[in-house]
A and B are shown apart, each in its own frame.
Chain A
Amino acid sequence: MNTFGESLATALGLIAGTDPQLWPIVRLSLAVSGLATVAAALIAFPLAAWIALTPFRGRGVVVATMNALMGLPPVVVGLVVYLLLSRAGPFGALGILFTPAAMVVAQCVLVAPLMAALARQTLEDALVEYDAYLRSLHATKLQRVATLIREARFSLLTVLLAGFGRAAAEVGAVMIVGGNIDGITRVMTTTIALETSKGDLALALGLGLVLVLVVLLVNACAHGIRVYSARRYG
């Protein structure tokens, strides 16, 4: 077995040498997680806005449930999505199991509750700050939502990045619904798991480094956005 140093050196060589095996996996990972994050945002943000601005009976239970769903185990999400998309499942006719589309669905299900919970809290904080002012203008609900989203845009962008980070780093759900098929559904996390089990630590480590870089970049972006918004808009 390679030592860690040798594996690291080989991994860096793979990254620097634009290894033909490595970059398609990276591209697919980013595409799947990016699409899943966008899809989750389209569901989570309107839901968060509605919950943040609408008093209704049982709201506390809904909020507590949303918060609890932030910790959904990826393998459980994978299993549920697998059952839904399998031939015998209600969405089996779609025929997307073991395709990147199924992975997008699984990651979307995984990160949507996280993004909805964080976005709801963000919008509620903005509401506390601006509600009296908006009511003094007799703003409509739509105007209030639009204003709150605009005012909280940098925080919501951070929520988006947090969702992407969670999606990109998970392995259980995409492994189950994607099947880790070489050249079709193999993404960074599943490849790392597979190659490690095979003993090919160089590729696993190379992908691991790229994954860490992606996560670092996402977090750096989130931090940069926070600093920029504080400096630019107070």
Chain B
Amino acid sequence: MNQPDLAGLGRARLELRGVGVVHGGLDILHRVDLAIPIGDRTVVLGPNGAGKTTLLQAIHGLVSLSSGTVQGVGADRADTSFRFGFVFQRPVMLRRSAQANVEHALAVLGVPAAQRRERAQRAIADVGLEYAAHRPARRLSGGEQQRLAVTRANALDPDCLLLDEPTANVDPAAAAALERYLLKLAAAGRGFVMTTHDLAQARRLAQTVVFMHRGRVEEVAPAGEFFALPRSELARRFLNGEWLE
């Protein structure tokens, strides 16, 4: 297994050390060691059942760890408890307007009422959904809902976005729009950790690729290097389109 050099990273990062998650007696994550630079575009690749979603949930504290730790390490900041914005594969929209959905998330975060509307309007405009701001969120198209979900997560001003296969249920045009938005956010310093099966999408978006199989991190590499010359046999077979058991 190719593990990253945790000590060699000088930037703010998230460190997972020996992280394990057990569910129903099965190892969903098995002793994962990983360093994820905050602000980068990290794509987690792997077949179904690799543990990609559970990895994101472990980072965000949505599952109990059976072992290990998830810790923020800040290079230039005292507060290393990073804040994340989570986006699900299927966007979860409340029965209210698009703008009210963003306002709700801000309210839960504790943003004062006086600031919510302005921040929500800014978020909606940022993703180009001004025309739909006052429409019921659940009436928007799948692609629009997913863009709204991303901008809602981004409105929380997180250190990093955690995206669980955000384009799995949208058409190619909507996926392209979402990718453009994610690249725009990343250019402004809002990095993300995204899971996907889509190799082409990973090539377009990733700076760093984390390849997983059966709950283990098999390889971590810069995207160019990973796609040109993967070091692990499993990654090579995955890139060749082989079925991994």
Contact = CB atoms under 8 A, between A and B. Distances in A.
Given A232-B136, A233-B136, A233-B138, A137 B108 contact: yes
Nearest to A139: B108
Interface string B164-190: 000000000000000000000000000
A132 B72 CA distance: 23
B226 interface: no
Contact of B94 (A130, A132, A229, A232): A130
A147 B104 contact: yes
A136 B86 contact: yes
B88 interface: yes
B95 interface: yes
Given A129-B92, A130-B94, A234 B105 contact: no
Contacts, number: 40
Contact of A233 (B86, B96, B104): B96
Interface string B74-112: 000000000000101000111110000000110011000
Contacts of A234: 93, 95, 136-139
Contacts of B139: 234
Contacts of B109: 137
Q: Is the interface of A mostly helix, strand, loop or mixed?
A: helix
B95 A233 contact: yes
A195 interface: no
Given A151-B95, A233-B95, A136 B138 contact: no
Interface string A137-181: 111000100010011000000000000000000000000000000
A133 interface: yes
B62 interface: yes
Interface size for chain B: under 10, 10 to 19, 20 to 34, or 35 or more residues? Answer: 10 to 19
A135 interface: yes
Contact of A133 (B61, B92, B138, B156): B92
B122 interface: no
A12 to B, nearest CB: 42
Nearest to A232: B136
Nearest to A126: B95
Contacts of A232: 136
Given A136-B62, A233-B138, 18 more contacts: A130-B92, A130-B94, A132-B88, A132-B92, A133-B92, A135-B62, A136-B60, A136-B86, A136-B88, A137-B108, A137-B156, A138-B61, A147-B108, A229-B95, A232-B136, A233-B96, A233-B136, A234-B136
Enumerate the 8 nearest inter-chain pairs by beta-carbon distance, A residue then B residue, closest first.
A234-B138, A233-B95, A133-B92, A136-B86, A137-B108, A234-B139, A233-B136, A139-B108
Interface of A: 129-130, 132-139, 143, 147, 150-151, 229, 232-234
Interface of B: 60-62, 86, 88, 92-96, 104-105, 108-109, 136-139, 156
8 contacts: A132-B62, A132-B88, A136-B60, A136-B62, A139-B108, A151-B94, A151-B95, A233-B136
